[in-house]
Amino acid sequence: MIDRFASSALMNLAKGFPVVAVTGPRQSGKTTLVQAVFSDKAYISLEDPDKLEFLSSDPRGFLENFPEGAVIDEAQKFPSLFSYLQGFVDRRKKSGLFILTGSQHFGLLSGIRQSLAGRAGFLELLPFSIAELQASKIPIPELTALLFQGLYPALYDRRLAPAAWHANYVMTYLERDVRNILNVRNLSLFQKFLRMCAARVGQLLNLSAMASDCGITHNTAQSWISVLEASYIVFLLKPHFRNFGKRLVKSPKLYFYDPGLAAWLLNIQNREHLAIHPQRGGLFECLIVGELLKDRFNRGLASNLYFWRNNLGDEIDLLLDQGTRLIPAELKSGETLNADYFKGLHKWRKLSKDTKSPAYLVYGGKEKLTQRGIQAVPWKLASQEVRNH
């Protein structure tokens, strides 16, 4: 088993809250993690129709079977559960009783906010990070292969072809979730929308244009994006509000949590195809932004990532907001450094009048170096190097 960095944050949350909720995409390893950390607890999956029926028919009686708590998988399948848990944990007055998992963020989150406010801690678990693979001495594929394969655990635990696994993932999990949440009848149209999202990774979100191209209404496009966010397929990177006298872009950027899934949706056939694909740069951005998100989430922290762009086209791919300072980072998939890669960062330093804070260029090469105060960081070390400052 590959050790998950989120284990420590999960145990710490269980020391301070009677209920801990672990959310994240399907097949990201949530069940494996909570069973490993809480191996002494009973495990109940609400995917099991018998367990779900027992819980639905007698919620109080069901919970009384677990005086020391339990791990409850896919907890959002029985929304009333959260109200019954409130009374149960209030009577027990003990930390770490119930560990809930769910792959639909708003289903789990809304139920907990209504009934378990102040009683539950949250942890978001994404697929493997490069640092986790390195720590477990799992060979890291070269960059193009990694962008094609992605980082879902099943692709490292078993010998599976990435294309076959991603096709099955979309069919069996994502489309089922969409049907459950939105009752989408035309799944082919939804999959077209999903592929359009993949074609726009790293770009500003323009829902009106996407709706028009897909032949759906703006409201439908908005609801579909919301479901993809809630299912941890895509995320929207927000623009930072720092203003230097120019009007700022207000639209978020669209990214996928996993570059391999986006590559499959782009119909990329193999590594060689990806190496020359026009979206290789966007997939590289997905990988690096995802790595920095995983580093935050694995430590139980919320995202502090933004991008910055003004109306003149000046842009920084990533800003890490550390409260007292902003750390800029540019993301370039090329393996060979050139002077153009550094231009945006030099311009940012001039605009911000901050030459003391670290600045990073994360690129597709292997060597670390510093140029005029800007640190060039190989992609494999992105989360460790950037996080350390």
For residue range 53-91, what is the model confidence (pLDDT) as tens digits? 999 999 999 999 999 999 999 888 888 888 899 999 999
Whole-angstrom distance, CA of residue 221 vs CA of residue 214: 9
Residue 133 covered by a domain: no
Which residue has 């989120």 as its token pair? 6
Residues 201 and 111 in one domain: no
pLDDT score for 297: 96
Pair (159, 264) in one structural domain: yes
Q: Give the chain's domain count.
A: 2
Task: Express each pLDDT in 358-389 by its tens digit.
Answer: 999 999 999 999 988 899 999 999 999 987 65
Q: What is the pLDDT of residue 189?
A: 87
Assess whether pLDDT exceeds 90 at residue 184: no
Task: Specify whether 107 is located in the same domain as 161.
Answer: no
Q: What are the pLDDT digits (tens) for 195-239? A: 999 999 999 999 999 999 999 999 999 989 988 998 899 999 999
Whether 213 is covered by a domain: the verdict is yes
Residues 145, 233, single domain; the answer is yes
* Residue range 289-324, pLDDT digits in tens: 999 999 999 999 999 999 999 888 889 999 999 988
Residue 316 belongs to a domain: no
Do 185 and 268 fall within a single domain?
yes
- Asked if residue 275 and residue 150 are part of one domain, the reply reads yes
Helix, strand or coil, per DSSP, at residue 20:
strand
Give residue 309's identity as a one-letter amino acid code: R
pLDDT of res. 354: 85
Q: Same domain for 117 and 145?
A: no
pLDDT at res. 9? 97
- 196: in domain: yes
What is the distance between the alpha carbons of residues 211 and 374, in angstroms, rounded to a whole number? Answer: 40
Residue 219 in any domain: the answer is yes
Same domain, 71 and 191: no
The answer to whether the pTM exceeds 0.75 is yes
Tell me: do 100 and 16 sit in the same domain.
Answer: yes
Q: Is 102 exposed, middle or buried (0-12, 13-18, 19+ CB in 10 A)?
A: buried
> Which pLDDT score is estimated for 215?
92
Report helix angle 7-16 to 30-37, nearest 10.
Answer: 60
- Is 129 among the domain residues? no
The answer to whether 147 and 287 are in contact (CB under 8 A) is yes
Contacts of 264 (CB under 8 A, 6+ apart): 162, 163, 166, 167, 170
Domain containing 175 equals: 139-240+254-279
Task: Give the number of residues written for the chain.
Answer: 389
pLDDT at 118: 84
Nearest CA among 177, 200, 331 for reference residue 256:
200
Contact partners, residue 159, CB within 8 Å, separation at least 6: none
Q: Are 128 and 153 in contact (CB under 8 A)?
A: yes
**Domain shared by 151 and 274, yes or no:** yes
Coil/strand/helix, residue 236: strand
Using the 3D structure, point to which of 61, 89, 124 is the last residue of a domain. Answer: 124
Residues 94 and 201 in one domain: no
Q: Is residue 145 part of a domain?
A: yes
Find the CATH number of the domain harbouring 117. Answer: 3.40.50.300
Residue-wise pLDDT for 102-147, tens only, equals 876 656 777 777 778 788 999 999 999 999 999 999 999 999 999 9
pLDDT tens digits along 152-179: 999 998 888 999 999 999 988 777 777 7
- Tokens found for residue 340: 């153009």
**Domain identity same for 110 and 143:** no
Tokens 């999202």 belong to residue: 197
In a domain, 39, yes or no: yes
> What pLDDT shows up at residue 276?
92
